[in-house]
Structure 1
Amino acid sequence: MAQEVRGVVALGVDKPVAVETIVIPEPGLGEAVVKVQACGVCHTDLHYKQGGISDAFPFLLGHEAAGIVESIGEGVTEVAPGDFVILNWRAVCGRCRACRRGRPWYCFSTHNAAQPMTLTDGTKLSPALGIGAFAEKTLVAAGQCTKVDPAAAPAAAGLLGCGVMAGLGSAINTGNVTRGDSVAVIGCGGVGNAAIAGARLAGAAKVIAVDLDDRKLEQARALGATHTVNGRDTDVVKSIQELTGGPGADVVIDAVGRPETYEQAFYARDLAGTVVLVGVPTPEMKLQLPLLDVFGRGGALKSSWYGDCLPERDFPVLIDLYLQGRLDLDAFVSETISLDHVEEAFAKMHHGQVLRSVVIL
């Protein structure tokens, strides 16, 4: 039986979000209904609201979520009612060329729930990243649910659903940071600070945080940065080189995603070092680098999409590390709010006042 719940909807480009009544259908083949307990307010939701991702309004926003599986449809074996899960937007197909080659984190045919969620007048909603979790309940593909230890706090666990996982994975999975490495992270928002935490977790000896805001640099130190550089006051490349004894860092992570920060990352790495782009550029951005420098410096230039994450592999391990006190996910939760305060949370995020506001349901 379909049910009605409250959810946060973006009705048009840059219009204030509204709390509307959402119709959730009974789960069909391969689907699950999840009772959402917590959902982080991510920049991606703001991009949806601004029309920067798609024009398929109205959007049911929210995607960094954790909750309890309420019901499942036919053929679902991954989860059962009562399971505590983190939602993800990477439900892999198991059949594409990436999956067949044993690289499901690159799956080229990920999927979401087949049935739409709607407004009460029948208007179909576009769920953010195929999730739509600024709602009391949501309908997803069962493969978007990853079961983890229920001892984890939902507000912290849900953040692995997007930004924090992207940052952690950019260091651990994409950058392959290992013991003794030097790492620089440019941009210390939620993703950048997660990259810093990931680098320390992987055993990096030196982690250099770069930002224009001293408040963010203080947060970066709390999450594991050993050194900080304010790019407003100093030359970023020279500072990273000096802090690494001259050659530059083994891994430099660009968590901003602008041509100028990517160029800084490129020249701030050691010869044969690695650059990881995890910040998301906008479509009009162009990059110019001397091709001889690309060739002559060697190493690797990588992009990290969702931290090269495989949820069924990564989420349970990271939650275990969190429960052991080795990964401080709670530090990313700046405040908890209700569904009615999402619009204010977007403003705080835009002005850099929070790492994450988290909606508690």
Structure 2
Amino acid sequence: MEPFGLAVHASLEGSGVSGLNVLVSGCGPIGLMNIAAAKALGASKVIATDVHPLRLTAAAKMGADECINATEESVYETVRSLLGERGVDVAIDYSGQATALKELIQSITHGGELRLMGVPSHDILLNLEEWLFKGLIVRGLHGRRLFETWERSTSLLVTGRVDLSSLVSHRLPLTAAEDAFEMALNGQSLKILFEPNGSCI
């Protein structure tokens, strides 16, 4: 619920996602949750981008209409081929990567929204002129809104409009913690659950 709340908050903020074309950059667990939340909340089309094939496969399962491997193709050119010159209405970034942000800016329509969720690991150079002349609305998001986000998240899960069970790629004992973190860092897992007392299912 805690990480899902972030995804729901990112989907509801600003102009929301209903009837809009949405680009989700970074398909870690919360980005994947955002794909499912955006679809459930009425997004017209959801496009996902990442560099790990496992995550992109998961993005398709979570409801993404198009999945782009950013190491193999241009995000901007692919978005343009799908939506024309207009581009997406909303881009939500979970990657915190400079190259990803650059392509997101190119892919957003004039007056569209950029919602920042990912935290960069270092300073990033920004072309503010491009942001300015596009008239972008930029929202830095952190956490969620209490209690609105919990209520909407609960409703999406209880009604079955969102199913998060496929995000759990591994269930491991605590003794395998080192291997688990290695898998996570190398993009070989989605969400790993530790089961200190053995299997829960």
Q: Normalising to structure 1: TM-score of the pair?
A: 0.51
Query: Deviation at 1:214?
Result: 2.5
> Residues of 1 paired with 2:9 and 2:147: CA distance?
14
Look up the SS of the partner of 1:224 in the other structure: coil
Post-superposition CA distance 1:314-338 (Å, at most 9, x none): 2243233212211112122222223
Question: After the TM superposition, which residues 156-175 of structure 1 pair with which residues of structure 2 at under 5 Å, given as runs?
Answer: 160-162=1-3, 164-173=4-13
Q: Which residue identity lines up with residue 261 of structure 1 in the other structure?
A: A
> Residues of 1 paired with 2:17 and 2:74: CA distance?
24
1:187 maps to 2:26: yes
Which structure has the greater CA radius of gyration? 1
Q: Which residue of 1 aligns with 2:16?
A: 176
Residue 161 (structure 2) aligned to one of 326, 344, 358 = 326
Q: Which residue of 1 aligns with 2:73?
A: 234
Q: Which residue of 2 aligns with 1:360?
A: 195
Identity of aligned residues (%): 27
Question: After the TM superposition, which residues 105-120 of structure 1 pair with which residues of structure 2 at under 5 Å, given as runs?
Answer: none
Query: Deviation at 1:290?
Result: 4.2
Query: Deviation at 1:339?
Result: 2.8
Question: After the TM superposition, which residues 61-72 of structure 1 pair with which residues of structure 2 at under 5 Å, given as runs?
Answer: none
> Residues of 1 paired with 2:58 and 2:40: CA distance?
16
Q: Which residue of 1 aligns with 2:55?
A: 216
Contact 1:184 1:249 in 2 (8 A): yes
Change in Cα spacing, 1:317 to 1:235, as seen in structure 2 (3 Å) is closer
1:287 maps to 2:125: yes
Contact 1:188 1:220 in 2 (8 A): yes
Contact 1:172 1:198 in 2 (8 A): no
1:245 maps to 2:84: yes
> Residues of 2 paired with 1:296 and 1:218: CA distance?
35
Query: Deviation at 1:174?
Result: 5.3
Q: How many residues align?
A: 196
Q: Which residue of 1 aligns with 2:199?
A: none
1:196 maps to 2:39: no
Query: Deviation at 1:311?
Result: 4.2
Greater RCO, 1 or 2 (C-alpha within 8 Å, sep 6+):
2
Query: Deviation at 1:233?
Result: 1.8
Contact 2:47 2:66 in 1 (8 A): yes
Query: Deviation at 1:221?
Result: 0.7
Contact 1:185 1:252 in 2 (8 A): yes
Q: Which has the higher helix share?
A: 2
Change in Cα spacing, 1:173 to 1:299, as seen in structure 2 (3 Å) is same
Change in Cα spacing, 1:221 to 1:271, as seen in structure 2 (3 Å) is same
Residue 93 (structure 2) aligned to one of 245, 249, 254 = 254
Contact 1:253 1:275 in 2 (8 A): yes
Residue 315 (structure 1) aligned to one of 145, 150, 158 = 150
Query: Deviation at 1:270?
Result: 0.5
In structure 2, stretches of 5+ residues that fail to align are 197-201
Contact 1:190 1:356 in 2 (8 A): yes
Residue 184 (structure 2) aligned to one of 349, 353, 358 = 349
> Residues of 2 paired with 1:270 and 1:278: CA distance?
19
Q: Which residue identity lines up with residue 303 of structure 1 in the other structure?
A: G
Change in Cα spacing, 1:354 to 1:233, as seen in structure 2 (3 Å) is same
Q: Which residue identity lines up with residue 334 of structure 1 in the other structure?
A: S
Q: Which residue identity lines up with residue 168 of structure 1 in the other structure?
A: V
Change in Cα spacing, 1:237 to 1:337, as seen in structure 2 (3 Å) is same
Q: Which has the higher strand share?
A: 1
Q: Which residue identity lines up with residue 192 of structure 1 in the other structure?
A: G
Contact 1:259 1:285 in 2 (8 A): no
1:297 maps to 2:138: no
> Residues of 2 paired with 1:310 and 1:225: CA distance?
25
Q: Which residue of 2 aligns with 1:8?
A: none
Contact 1:175 1:276 in 2 (8 A): no
Q: Which residue of 1 aligns with 2:45?
A: 206
